Structure 1
Amino acid sequence: MPRCAACSDGSVGYTHPKPGETGPGLGPTLARGPAPTSRTRATSSKESAMPTPTLNERLRYRFDVWMAGGTVALMGLLALATFVFVVILGFITWIVLALARDKTSPDPNEGPFDFMWGSLMRTLDPGTMGGDRGWAFRILMLVVTIGGLVIVASLIGIVSGAFDSRVEQLRKGRSRVLEKDHTLILGWNSKVFSIVQELATANVSRGRSHIVILANRDKVDMEDEIRAATQGLGKTTVTCRTGDPKSLRDLEIGSPHAARSIILLGPADATDPDIDVIKAALALTNSATHADAKYHIVGELTGPDNLDIARLVGGDEAKWVVGPELIGRITVQTCRQSGLSNVYQELLDFERNEIYVTDQPELIGLTYFDAQLAFENSTAIGIVRGETVMMNPDAECVLQAGDRLVVIAEDDSTIKLGRPLVVDPVGMAERVSAPEKPERILVLGTNSALPSMLTELNQYVASGSDATIVTRDEVQNIPQLDRLSVTLQRGDASQRSFLESLHPTSFDHVVVLADPATDPQQADSRTLVTLLQLRDIARHDGQDLNVVTEMLDDANRELAEVTEADDFIISDKIVALALAQISENPVLAEVFDVLFTSKSSEMYLHPVDDYVELHTDINFTALMEAARFRGETAIGFRRAAHARQKSEGYGVNLNPAKTERLSFAEGDEIIVLAEA
């Protein structure tokens, strides 16, 4: 047969007919169109190679699909099986008894439907067959009874399985909470326990309150850990739910649209927790249920480099706390002033005095110092004017309409105006400011807070100051500083011989930093060993050391107090306290930003004899007047005799009663807000 030149695949065995031609050997397929291509033939061969499913396979597949339908499908299948079983057995019973014509058997005149009904009753309630008559009927009813046992057992198993499945779903915490005006915590790390404890304390005056935690963890495990780590939650209820805070669908489990405030925490096991926090904020601000009312979000960040993108995502609905920066700033201020960490601890927690923002329209037109004298049980420390927070403003600054006062009080319910106080007429002491001189700081250990700490320290010290940083690893991102020179030295600060070679008593301040990269208990243990070595070296040299220590676990503070370190900074707890405070009042984010930086007024502890005469019977208004004369705001005092007594609050007394009679001794200090 001739080969067609038009065939591209080289196929032979037929000739192309002319249009409409049908000749010998040309089937109808060839007459209708061109020859099949290689792709068509390959497809056809594959289809022909696939085996045709058998009836058994089809039925099994349909059964599997039906079984996947869940509890309702299973019960429907069981009902169908029961119906078929009852119909068949009832019909067989009717036929057998009709053929037997046994007078001792049940009434043979009953129809098939009567026997079907009787079979159904025996199926649903398998009972005794003692009243049955006739062996044929007894045998058939025995079959019905056995079938009924199987059907009822299957029904019980299906219902029990469905109930267990539902309980398991509830255990996993996937149901949506229906609370309103609650605090929603998205994420989970070690700070969640302090946050829950502080919020419960803050909610004491509010009555029954709710905290909802949504995290990608097991619900029961979260509840057990919170129950073990917290105590005295009072009327505060903690509800845990399992879900991904970054998922738009899972977010609705926590009802964020009904929450009073939302706290974002980075997961402890994440490589970059800030990414998770920012994505959760993005999900919140773009959720379908985001109402016209704005969210009140406060989020934790671990890196200042992520702050700009976080602000872009959160907009004016979110406040951000950069943990390392906050710890670094507090560490810097504390290392230069012994006892300041206890002041910050009291201001940040909800146990005694904390910071509030209050409207007092009766004070409009009065000066800031007049406002200070208007409170007996509260202490005014600043003014909020629009979006601006002014801490320690000029004493003659006049309050305008719309201004709010920043005050220190035990509770918002105690912020009440009284009769204007009269300044105690007492002679003020003369204070001579000592000239600045270069300082030497020894930093033992490094962590992510070190760069911001050095930057902040550079704002306080005099030119020519020096910081020696001791680390076991290389230090990255040392900032450019103009007043402070930085010296790096490799070594292990927990080794006695190495510490002695540093001559720690020659430094003005010593800072011991914890390493968050290791286990918190192990890191605190290394810190404890270093403190014991430092204290022994100082005792051996007959010198005193100003030591500030960062710890990770507050439970280790009491044990570490035997080292007589001047200040302890519990980093995780301080960040948690700041988050809890801002979640209750978003204005506090700006207040803390002013207090914890060198750009405005901050906390100082000054010798009280620089303000008033010692051993003189006065009240606190005398200290307020002496501080006003120096452009400062007096907020409390510290007793040197109680500086190491935990039961006495380490000597710190903030917001004292203004008319209480006081007398100060050598070493006592006044706590003021002042410019650097």
Structure 2
Amino acid sequence: MTQRRTPFGDRARYWFDSTLTRGAAALVGWMALLCLAVVVPASAVLVWTDPDVPASLADRLAEVWRLTGETLRLGGATGTPLRAMMSVLLALVTLLYVSTLVGLITTALTERLTALRRGRSTVLEQGHAVVLGWSEQVFTVVSELVAANANQRGAAVVVLADRDKTVMEEALSTKVGSFGRTRLICRSGPTTDPTVLPLTSPATAGVVLVLPHDEPDADAEVVKTLLALKAALAGEEGRPPVVAAVRDDRYRLAACLAAGPGGVVLESDTVTARLIVQAARRPGISLVHQELLDFAGDEFYLTSEPSLIGRPFGDALLSYSASSVVGLMRGDSPLLNPPPETPIAADDLLVVISRDDDTVWLDGCAELVEEAAMASGPSTPARTERILLLGWNRRAPLIIDQLRRRARPGSVVDVVADRGEATARQVREVDAHSGTGLDLTLHHGDVTRPDTLRRLDVHSYDSVIVLGRDPLPGQPPDDPDNRTLVTLLLLRQLEEATGRELPVVTELIDDRNRALAPISPGADVIISGKLIGLLLAQISQSRHLAAVFEELFSAEGSGVRLRPAPDYVLPGSETTFATVVAAARQRGECAIGYRSHDGSSTSPGYGVRINPPKGERRRWTVEDEVVVVGRD
């Protein structure tokens, strides 16, 4: 067998590569040879072309050596070999010292810059907000904190997550936009490590928010983070308020214990289920929730008013022309929409909705009430409901439970889901605990197939709720939105074929998909992560609001409701909003706004107006709705 001859160039290259594998010594040797190969010939050319070149060859070679030594900083002494060798030795020692010093300085600077890029330096702030964890909620939370700090100097938000600092900063800058006066500081590291948490200076923080990530073990991670925070603050005199969120109520007690006294823990799935059901029962209510929860409009405040002490609560409703009173905070317990005759105690705080905390001022407006325009008939009676639930996920049992809590006897809920999503046993378990006349039925079918929806008389339902699947392990967290968008497209096709609009309530995971959803303007879209983020941001400014929101969004008690305007004022009458407030007071409710039918398809508010001035006059139509805090 003949051996193939390797070309000389390939053999030379292979030999060269092999010598480089021997380490730094080989690399230094090659660099020295390369430099000499260039410097020595160039020095010789300079010497031989010099008009004053020495005549003898020895003198010329000595001049070449001198030029070479000066160029390479190897010393240029001539004379005896010993003298030349000592010159080279001193030059090498100098070179070694200088290069080592430069290397040490460069390494130290590189390590420092790397540490700064990785977010490993300690934050030195006072009264800042600390956000622990990373999920889709972080963008909403940071955005709302920036809005809340718009009129404050020196405000800071510190985000700690197990991600690259630069990536976090770029993502927040892209989605949040301008931070105004608020300084955003990102730090990298696991939130469950007590030795990492001091990077955020939690002991001097104004509030600490713990966000659940988008993985299945999110609740356990939240509990571990709270325990790590407790360990990191051990020995500190004071602890900042802690606000956290978990998905499953099984983890809430553990999270509350880990958060410590004064900590607030939300159940995100339960809150989401409540808001979905409220939107299904009264279309447009999600727009009201959005207005109440973000810092861009009016929000909740607690205020004291000594001049109202001892007077009935009903008098407070018409005591503020630019704010809406909705209840009392008695100790740590909220009394939303108490009976009008309830006396205001000395320690009570008023729960009001206002543009800002400095816009809550007392100026009676009872003279603006026009009793002739007030309606006096009975309220619109509640009726049985027919709800169609398309899809199934971990929140579906909570939604059905919320539906049955206030369901009239004879109400119907039809569930359509794949066999792999919901089983008859699951639905029977939910039905067994209903304890009401709610008729619950499971229909198997793929809600992304046109034939499944055509078999249903979707227009016979009072509301259609579209849910996405729970993401499978390894799937992107917003993957369920893909199926939801397909289902919405099919429902839109049915709307166009019949010419009738469907009252659809949609649950989405990613806020960016809201613009892609083929739904009518002003339709109810529940973006669970965004709503929970808004709640966390609101409670971080005042932990007492946690109890207020708990009652507002509960199935029982006083909550936010949309009522027909003819229940309060005569249709076609032009009157003030103060008249509506007085009419609601007679019915044992607190009016806080309205939704105009004419503006229901116009952004950005879609007809919703929260906390209008009491003196605002408008003509009320049969299709208008009044936003109240009251009971069903």
Q: Could you state the TM-score of these two structures normalised by the residue count of structure 1?
A: 0.78
How far residue 245 of structure 1 moved from its aligned partner, in angstroms, is: 1.7
Q: Which residue of 1 aligns with 2:142?
A: 196
| Contact 2:204 2:240 survives alignment (8 Å) | no
How far residue 263 of structure 1 moved from its aligned partner, in angstroms, is: 0.5
Q: Which residue of 1 aligns with 2:203?
A: 257
Question: Deviation string for 1:474-533 (max 9, x for gaps)?
Answer: 334743102223212221112111101121112121101123415455432322222232
Q: Secondary structure at the match of 2:320?
A: coil
Match for residue 400 of structure 2 among 441, 446, 454: 454
CA distance in structure 2 between the partners assigned to 1:618 and 1:544 by the alignment: 31
Q: Which residue of 2 aligns with 1:504?
A: 458
| Contact 1:531 1:565 survives alignment (8 Å) | no
Q: Secondary structure at the match of 1:461?
A: coil
Q: Does 1:487 align with 2:434?
A: no
| Higher relative contact order (CA closer than 8 Å, sequence separation 6+) | 2
| Contact 1:282 1:314 survives alignment (8 Å) | yes
Q: Secondary structure at the match of 1:317?
A: coil
How far residue 413 of structure 1 moved from its aligned partner, in angstroms, is: 2.0
Question: Deviation string for 1:189-241 (max 9, x for gaps)?
Answer: 11101110111011112233101111122212211211122112211111111
| Contact 1:392 1:673 survives alignment (8 Å) | yes
CA distance in structure 2 between the partners assigned to 1:211 and 1:268 by the alignment: 22
How far residue 128 of structure 1 moved from its aligned partner, in angstroms, is: 8.8
Q: Which residue of 2 aligns with 1:603?
A: 560
Q: Using a 3 Å threshold, how does the CA distance of structure 1 residues 495 and 196 change in structure 2: closer, same or farther?
A: same
| Contact 1:174 1:253 survives alignment (8 Å) | yes
| Contact 2:155 2:181 survives alignment (8 Å) | yes
**Structure 2: 5+ residue stretches without partners:** 1-71
Q: Which residue of 1 aligns with 2:25?
A: none
Spell out the pairing of 1:85-100 with structure 2 (5 A cutoff). none
CA distance in structure 2 between the partners assigned to 1:318 and 1:160 by the alignment: 46
How far residue 436 of structure 1 moved from its aligned partner, in angstroms, is: 4.0
Q: Which residue of 2 aligns with 1:514?
A: 468
How far residue 131 of structure 1 moved from its aligned partner, in angstroms, is: 8.0
Spell out the pairing of 1:149-548 with structure 2 (5 A cutoff). 149-269=95-215, 271-427=216-372, 428-472=374-418, 473-475=420-422, 476=426, 478-479=429-430, 480-483=433-436, 484-517=438-471, 519=476, 522-548=479-505
| Contact 2:576 2:615 survives alignment (8 Å) | yes
Q: Using a 3 Å threshold, how does the CA distance of structure 1 residues 613 and 410 change in structure 2: closer, same or farther?
A: same
More deviation in 501-510 or 584-593? 501-510
Q: Which residue of 2 aligns with 1:662?
A: 618
| Contact 2:77 2:84 survives alignment (8 Å) | no
Q: Using a 3 Å threshold, how does the CA distance of structure 1 residues 437 and 618 change in structure 2: closer, same or farther?
A: closer
CA distance in structure 1 between the partners assigned to 2:274 and 2:359 by the alignment: 31
Q: Using a 3 Å threshold, how does the CA distance of structure 1 residues 490 and 218 change in structure 2: closer, same or farther?
A: same
Q: Using a 3 Å threshold, how does the CA distance of structure 1 residues 561 and 621 change in structure 2: closer, same or farther?
A: farther
How far residue 617 of structure 1 moved from its aligned partner, in angstroms, is: 2.5
| Contact 1:294 1:317 survives alignment (8 Å) | no
Q: Using a 3 Å threshold, how does the CA distance of structure 1 residues 562 and 329 change in structure 2: closer, same or farther?
A: closer
CA distance in structure 1 between the partners assigned to 2:92 and 2:270 by the alignment: 75
How far residue 547 of structure 1 moved from its aligned partner, in angstroms, is: 1.0
Question: Deviation string for 1:338-393 (max 9, x for gaps)?
Answer: 11000000111111111111222232122212222221211111100012101111
How far residue 277 of structure 1 moved from its aligned partner, in angstroms, is: 0.7
CA distance in structure 2 between the partners assigned to 1:257 and 1:371 by the alignment: 40
Q: Secondary structure at the match of 2:534?
A: helix
Structure 2 counterpart of 1:378, one-letter code: S
Q: Using a 3 Å threshold, how does the CA distance of structure 1 residues 414 and 434 change in structure 2: closer, same or farther?
A: closer
CA distance in structure 2 between the partners assigned to 1:665 and 1:294 by the alignment: 53
CA distance in structure 2 between the partners assigned to 1:420 and 1:634 by the alignment: 14
Q: Using a 3 Å threshold, how does the CA distance of structure 1 residues 482 and 543 change in structure 2: closer, same or farther?
A: farther
Q: Secondary structure at the match of 2:261?
A: helix
Name the Cα RMSD after superposition.
2.2
Q: Which residue of 1 aligns with 2:603?
A: 646
Match for residue 517 of structure 2 among 560, 572, 580: 560
CA distance in structure 2 between the partners assigned to 1:327 and 1:242 by the alignment: 30
More deviation in 368-377 or 574-583? 368-377
Structure 2 counterpart of 1:572, one-letter code: G
CA distance in structure 2 between the partners assigned to 1:574 and 1:131 by the alignment: 79
Q: Which residue of 1 aligns with 2:584?
A: 627
Q: Using a 3 Å threshold, how does the CA distance of structure 1 residues 314 and 235 change in structure 2: closer, same or farther?
A: same
**Structure 1: 5+ residue stretches without partners:** 1-125
Structure 1 counterpart of 2:176, one-letter code: T
| Contact 2:508 2:526 survives alignment (8 Å) | yes
CA distance in structure 1 between the partners assigned to 2:316 and 2:381 by the alignment: 34
CA distance in structure 2 between the partners assigned to 1:622 and 1:419 by the alignment: 13
Q: Which residue of 2 aligns with 1:671?
A: 627
How far residue 426 of structure 1 moved from its aligned partner, in angstroms, is: 2.8
CA distance in structure 2 between the partners assigned to 1:460 and 1:190 by the alignment: 32
CA distance in structure 2 between the partners assigned to 1:598 and 1:290 by the alignment: 42
CA distance in structure 2 between the partners assigned to 1:521 and 1:377 by the alignment: 41
More deviation in 427-436 or 604-613? 427-436
CA distance in structure 1 between the partners assigned to 2:626 and 2:92 by the alignment: 90
Structure 1 counterpart of 2:173, one-letter code: R
How far residue 666 of structure 1 moved from its aligned partner, in angstroms, is: 3.1
How far residue 316 of structure 1 moved from its aligned partner, in angstroms, is: 2.2
CA distance in structure 2 between the partners assigned to 1:381 and 1:253 by the alignment: 41
Q: Secondary structure at the match of 1:205?
A: coil
| Contact 1:601 1:675 survives alignment (8 Å) | yes
| Contact 1:619 1:658 survives alignment (8 Å) | yes
Question: Deviation string for 1:404-433 (max 9, x for gaps)?
Answer: 011111111212222454242232213334
Question: Deviation string for 1:301-325 (max 9, x for gaps)?
Answer: 0101111222222232211111110
Structure 1 counterpart of 2:421, one-letter code: E
Q: Could you state the TM-score of these two structures normalised by the residue count of structure 2?
A: 0.83
CA distance in structure 1 between the partners assigned to 2:88 and 2:223 by the alignment: 68
How far residue 653 of structure 1 moved from its aligned partner, in angstroms, is: 0.3
| Contact 2:214 2:477 survives alignment (8 Å) | no
Q: Which has the larger radius of gyration?
A: 1
Structure 1 counterpart of 2:461, one-letter code: F
CA distance in structure 2 between the partners assigned to 1:385 and 1:587 by the alignment: 11
Structure 2 counterpart of 1:284, one-letter code: L
Structure 2 counterpart of 1:673, one-letter code: V
CA distance in structure 2 between the partners assigned to 1:362 and 1:624 by the alignment: 21
